[in-house]
Amino acid sequence: MKRTMAVADIGGTHARFALAEVEGGSVASLGEAATFRTSDFEGLSSAWSEFGKVAGSPLPDALAIAFAGPIGSKALKLTNSQWVIEPGRLHKQLRVSDVTMVNDFGAIAHAVAQLGQDQFQHCCGPNMPLPESGPITVIGPGTGLGVAQLMRTAGDYQVIETEGGHIDFAPLDPLEDRLLAVLRQRFERVSVERIVSGSGLSNLYTALAAIEAKDAPLLENEAIWTAALDGSDPLAVAALERFFLSFGSVAGDLALAHGSKAVVIAGGLGYRLRQQMAASGFAERFVAKGRFREQMETIPVKLLDHPQPGLYGAAAAYAKEHQ
């Protein structure tokens, strides 16, 4: 029996909402998304009310939320926003009877588990389908760096939510040694998210300027991304090259740590950068693991090609929980 529900994907920059139908442990349909900037709202309740206006009809009493932060405490704070969500109060605040909450990249891992092979593009490594069994690493840069693990078994799967984006940055050449030294002056601890994320390019840009004793003419993160992609600022281009090198390194490290048979790159930023990634040092850094290079060369790396993986994954998580 199909059930209509609402789904939300709450990130540090955007809050997305949609209606979905689930049936038999799977997603039957996903409606058009309504996207709001989190900075335009005080919290989830006001954004939920706005979604109700956009939907134009009473919202369902079942809700699944993909949340950009660790799940499990009484008060959940977005990693890169001021929003705080108290799960125990959502039933009353939003007037819903049934709520499922999942980490944002946990939701994307649910999407990876349930979407068909046609939703994935080949990135690097052997061009083969995602395995039907075994571990898969799901990773993607956005406002932060999301990481989850998907474990497929015969006819079923489990999602392991992680905070893998907060592991330590490990420099691999003399320039990265110097980058780490500069970044340590700004951050008490330099995680990979400080580099492989939407704001990471700005961190790399200013650090490279300091190393080269140059002025950093661009100050806004969006302007740095634009200059890096159109080639108008050599320093921004160099920062993007380092971004991809570090991305390849951390994706490979996590694949080793997870014992993965495949890696899926997800999230809007990773997909938008797919052409630049293909021409970058990502693939070489991914396999450059010394004695484990041959093993790394057997791992396919895919790009998730779905417009709303967080919303789809939230619905999939709900469907699996209530199957």
Task: Report pLDDT digits (tens) over 14-67.
Answer: 899 999 999 999 999 999 999 999 889 988 999 999 999 999 888 999 999 998
Are 298 and 126 contacting, i.e. CB atoms less than 8 angstroms apart? yes
**Confidence band of 86 (pLDDT split at 50, 70, 90):** confident
Q: Are 272 and 175 part of one and the same domain?
A: yes
According to the annotation, is 9 in a ligand binding site? yes
Cα separation, 108 vs 145, whole angstroms: 13
Cα 124 to the chain's mean position, in Å?
Answer: 19
Q: What integer is the mean pLDDT of 83-112?
A: 89
Q: Cβ neighbours of residue 196 under 8 Å, at least 6 residues apart? A: 141, 145, 165, 243, 246, 247, 250
The answer to the question of residue 312 being in a domain is yes
**Confidence band of 79 (pLDDT split at 50, 70, 90):** low
Cα separation, 194 vs 34, whole angstroms: 29
With tokens 């009353």, the residue in question is 92
Cα separation, 15 vs 311, whole angstroms: 10
The pLDDT of residue 227 is above 80: yes
Cα separation, 302 vs 125, whole angstroms: 9
Radius of gyration of the chain (CA): 20
The pLDDT of residue 78 is above 70: no
**Confidence band of 270 (pLDDT split at 50, 70, 90):** confident
* CATH label of the domain that carries residue 230: 3.40.367.20
Could you read off the pLDDT of 110-149 as tens digits, one per residue? 999 999 999 999 999 999 999 999 999 999 998 889 999 9
The answer to the question of residue 64 being in a domain is yes
| Amino acid identity for residue 295 in this structure | Q
Q: For residue 202, what is the enclosing H or E element?
A: helix 200-211
What mean pLDDT, rounded, does the chain reach?
Answer: 92
**Confidence band of 87 (pLDDT split at 50, 70, 90):** confident
Q: Are 111 and 190 part of one and the same domain?
A: no
Q: For residue 258, what is the enclosing H or E element?
A: helix 234-258
Q: Cβ neighbours of residue 213 under 8 Å, at least 6 residues apart? A: none
The pLDDT of residue 204 is above 90: yes
SS3 18: strand
Number of domains in the chain: 2
The pLDDT of residue 215 is above 70: yes
Q: Are 315 and 261 part of one and the same domain?
A: no
The pLDDT of residue 70 is above 80: no
Cα separation, 218 vs 234, whole angstroms: 11
Count CB neighbours of 274 within 10 A: 13
According to the annotation, is 223 in a ligand binding site? no
**Confidence band of 73 (pLDDT split at 50, 70, 90):** low
According to the annotation, is 24 in a ligand binding site? no
| Structural domain that includes position 238 | 164-304
Q: Are 169 and 259 part of one and the same domain?
A: yes
Token couple for 267: 């999230």
According to the annotation, is 200 in a ligand binding site? no
* CATH label of the domain that carries residue 55: 3.30.420.40
